[in-house]
Amino acid sequence: MRKLELDNLKDGIGGLTEAFGTFLVEAAMYCLEQNNHNGQAVLQVEGYFDEKFELIWSGRLTEEVKGSWYDRKEATEYGATAIAILLVNELTDYNKFKRTRGGTDYIISKGKSTNTKMSDISYLEISGLWKETKNNTLTMRVNLKRKQVERTIIDASAFVIVTEFGNPKTKIHKQ
């Protein structure tokens, strides 16, 4: 089983700052630990990739962290962002992340050059679920996000990545 370390985001990754990475780690840690996963969990990835990861992190929830992330909806969205960025970085050749102004969450690109070719660009749309229910499943959320991306993106491929924290799993779709 491969390892996926949340703490790697704290060093900054692919154009994202250390501060933003730490922010994302706290959100993911809150979602995982509030769902009874302490310090590690097995993350099942399905869809475009089929993998299993040992998801690990070093911090623990303090009262300050709990208070900062008390809004579960927001914590879930940013926690899912942490997982998605790490998975893209681990499973693909895309290694740079830049926020977009709408339509999708990120533009992702390959390589080290600032002169990125269109063939080296994709889009990334992310969503999260606190806990999957029969009326709100990973597949339902992926399909909803796929439709959103289809209305917006016409010039490049896109990844839709949805993570659920109750029984940690991620579904990845590429279009």
Q: CA–CA separation, 97 vs 14, rounded Å?
A: 6
Taking the model in full, what pTM does it have? 0.93
Q: Which domain holds residue 111?
A: 2-174
Query: Domain count of the chain?
Result: 1
pLDDT in tens, 86-122: 999 999 999 999 998 877 899 999 976 555 565 688 9
Q: Which pairing describes strands 121-129 and 106-110: parallel, antiparallel, or unpaired? A: antiparallel
pLDDT of residue 153: 72
- pLDDT < 70: residue spans in the chain: 112-119
Q: Measuring CA to CA, which residue among 120, 162, 158 is closest to residue 144?
A: 162
pLDDT of residue 116: 57
pLDDT of residue 112: 66
Q: DSSP H helical segments within 92-165, as ranges?
A: 138-152
pLDDT of residue 142: 95
